[in-house]
Structure 1
Amino acid sequence: MSSGGGGGFCNFYETWLEQLHHLVRQLTAAPRPPTTPDHHYDLDVLVGKVMSHYAEYYRVKSVAAERDTLSVFAAPWASALERSLHWIAGWRPTTVFHLVYSESSILFESHIIDILRGLRTGDLGDLSPSQFRRVSELQCDTVREENAITEEFSEWQDSASELVNARADLKEKIGRLVSVLRKADDLRLRTFQSVVDLLTPQQAAEFLIAAAELQFGVRGWGVNHDRLRGNH
């Protein structure tokens, strides 16, 4: 994909983001906590739709990276602020755990009187000891994988002198970069899905809403900053 292809992914991303806004509005409007079997089913279906939407993003991104790897790393569809936060052309997988702990802590504090009375809220502030243990185990596994991918990417960067001295096969080097990116994106999606899988439908909905709102917020700040600097 030449520069036109990069533009194609930019167009895809704008449409994809608009659809994510629509899905999040549906999640927000769904009854929480779900009080009937139909409510549980509807929430489950919505959570599945959101996760399929993220999977579609990574599928299309993988095709774009195959065609124009460097354009995907440059991420012309992202604001300068978003790019400054990137780890290998996307968000750092361990960010998921900071979000879970942060949302859980905020909700726990807001419901602490009810919890002390023995009432269950069923939300992210009401994670069970088993869920906390599984989140912690998953975090450790993700950190190990993240570090391994970071090391592989660092090795690729260290070999940049070979490109300058024309000692390397450019196609082979770019192929290695695509491989690193795919590993990073695979870890991002797997981590996201693994966290959703260990939550109840209500908790998963709250987590996905929080993750999307963080994404929308960072993008909004970044776009406004770029606009103020005359960076369109």
Structure 2
Amino acid sequence: MTRQNEDIGALEARIGHSFADRGLIGAALTHVSAANGSRRETYQRLEFLGDRVLGLVISQMLYEAFPAADEGELSRRLADLVRKESCAEVALEWGVQAFIRLGESEKQTGAANAAILGDICESIIGAVFLDAGYDAARALVAGAFEARMRSPRRPLRDPKTALQEWAQARGLPTPLYRETARRGPDHAPEFTISVEVAGYRCAEATGFAKRLAEQAAAADFIAREGIDQGDRKGVA
């Protein structure tokens, strides 16, 4: 259930920032389905800004924390930290689902939607940046992401890259990804993607973006075939 403005203080305490402009946090928590005739009152623009602020802050954190890492390693670490799933996990840790403002069409399942939660995480970062500047946004991001940065929860080589390198090492063609289904509303479609590797059964997965579904399909293939992501030759 959506909380009223007077209860936003509980969320501010969790994220460690009190807003001078409560309108910013209100917009950051408002899905387009709950807009009163204006998308400017929703989180879309703040999510756009927060995505860029998050990328900049994480890039700076990585640059300072891993002085011996090359560009490739830094890029892989960045991609893992800023992916929608990571942002959705942070949003859940903040407890934002109780404060999200949804329209009737989204109230049944929207608050638990990983794509919405990821967007909300980024919109809150954008709102803090506008409310108090870069240092405040960096403090917010560092508090939420530093432990993840120090101890990655997933292999640094993304599943698509790992699968492609594994296939190439075995002399197989590049894995082929196909969209097999699409469902859901236009503003939040859900894609089902299959990955084909010559001589093996297809693996299939679903995600709220084609890229996420492709990565998930590759990960499912890797898990099913027992491929070691640290070994390009995989299993015999």
TM surpasses 0.5? no
- TM-score where L is the length of structure 1: 0.29
Higher relative contact order (CA 8 A, sep 6+): 1
